[in-house]
Structure 1
């Protein structure tokens, strides 16, 4: 019988009802919505409707990740997208790390997206994970401390990660990489100069291979990988809101009317 693990305190999905412009947010691999809570709350305070999903197998126990396929994570984000469609006429998506790959997946399928925002997105090369490609053992590997420069920050995450989940992440990246040319919406990408998990070259690869006419990269000087919780979180939040306002047809129509 499969153990039913409760959701960790603080790791829950969240939803803030605002205007007709929706912002869907995805956390990263072994993370939870807690890691994007500041960003979500800031955006909601500007009047937007915000939904942050909890990806399947996350925010409970690392054993829950073991049976997950990357299609389950794509589905988790799709469910958030469909929820926002019920409340909004326009949708942007923000994804951090693996959430960036998931965001790109949805953007390649939903051509009506208003824009996407990527934060240290995982796409082409994560050296610490590549060594597990094709391996069956060990069943679990130790997960290091979250890569955050601000040592006063606590992120809810797992102490271990299933090797099967690592392989699913690699498959997600492989699949998404092939889909990048199908992305045509505006793209805002943040990359940390010093990222000990996902090399910033991942972001460069994405912006070079999408078909979007609007592509902007912002370099973060004072954050490590989990930038949405780090010293540059206010910069990310402010820049993201400016991007949403600039590329929202609803917002622009209200300004000109």
Structure 2
């Protein structure tokens, strides 16, 4: 049996990877898991949570999947992509998919563009603007201690990249205002995988599973996971 572990991002929930997970469920007979990291989910409770708890939770989910499946893939979104690299260096997985992986974070140029878009949208609809809602939730629902733990996590995983040898698909939205494109380029250059592919989605923001290029993303991920070949 094939298993696929999909890991969401910082301050997020399994909903961030749900469209891709559902696509794969409909088109395969794989065992697909989308766990919730400690302190995350619909109601954030990040105070007092440490980054090693996120590692440990993801490891436990992966171990459980490996006990039931001969082949295991790991998909990670944003911070989940960083955790996925950690798992790939420590465990024998078969393929790795990294979506908007947050080895660098906050793209100032795109953030300014997003703010201008909010302003153009008009004051009356300001509170309903999805970009405003996204940034508001990130800012006001996240304690400083959690941000520091996130940075610790990234700093611990970066040195592991050259030791990761598993085939990897690296995906990045070019309009991402949270993780800049240089994060994907850095990841592609530093990861030790001989088989690797870098895919830029020209019209997508951070949440690539919901972006206008999502159908391209889904097909690329499916093809990557199903097929052998050069990347």
TM bucket, shorter chain: 0.7 to 0.9
Q: Does 1:29 align with 2:10?
A: yes
Query: What's the C-alpha RMSD, in Å, of the aligned pairs?
Result: 2.1
Unaligned runs of 5+ in 2: 109-130
Q: Could you tell me which residue of structure 2 aligns to residue 145 of structure 1?
A: 133
Q: Does 1:230 align with 2:218?
A: no
The alpha-carbon deviation at position 157 of structure 1 amounts to 7.7
Q: Does 1:59 align with 2:41?
A: yes
* 2:24/2:222 contact within 8 Å kept: yes
**Shift in CA distance, 157/79, structure 1 to aligned 2, threshold 3 Å:** farther
Q: How does 1:2-41 map to 2 (within 5 A)?
A: 20-41=1-22
Structure 1 CA distance for aligned equivalents of residues 32 and 138 of structure 2:
22
Residue of structure 2 aligned with 1:211, choices 174, 192, 197: 192
The alpha-carbon deviation at position 39 of structure 1 amounts to 0.6
Which TM-score applies when normalising by structure 1?
0.75
Q: Could you tell me which residue of structure 2 aligns to residue 132 of structure 1?
A: none
Q: Could you tell me which residue of structure 1 aligns to residue 83 of structure 2?
A: 102
Q: Could you tell me which residue of structure 2 aligns to residue 14 of structure 1?
A: none
Structure 1 CA distance for aligned equivalents of residues 146 and 78 of structure 2:
15
Structure 2 CA distance for aligned equivalents of residues 51 and 247 of structure 1:
23
**Shift in CA distance, 37/127, structure 1 to aligned 2, threshold 3 Å:** closer
Q: Could you tell me which residue of structure 2 aligns to residue 50 of structure 1?
A: 32
* 2:107/2:176 contact within 8 Å kept: no
Q: Does 1:121 align with 2:104?
A: no
CA deviation map 1:69-116 (0-9, x unaligned): 111111121122122113210111001110110001101111x21110
Structure 2 CA distance for aligned equivalents of residues 197 and 80 of structure 1:
27
Structure 2 CA distance for aligned equivalents of residues 117 and 144 of structure 1:
29
Deviation beyond 4 Å, 4+ runs, structure 1: 156-159
Unaligned runs of 5+ in 1: 1-19, 129-142, 148-155, 249-257
Structure 2 CA distance for aligned equivalents of residues 46 and 158 of structure 1:
37
The alpha-carbon deviation at position 191 of structure 1 amounts to 0.8
Q: Could you tell me which residue of structure 1 aligns to residue 155 of structure 2?
A: 174
* 2:101/2:179 contact within 8 Å kept: yes
Q: How does 1:168-207 map to 2 (within 5 A)?
A: 168-207=149-188
Greater helix fraction, Structure 1 or Structure 2? 2
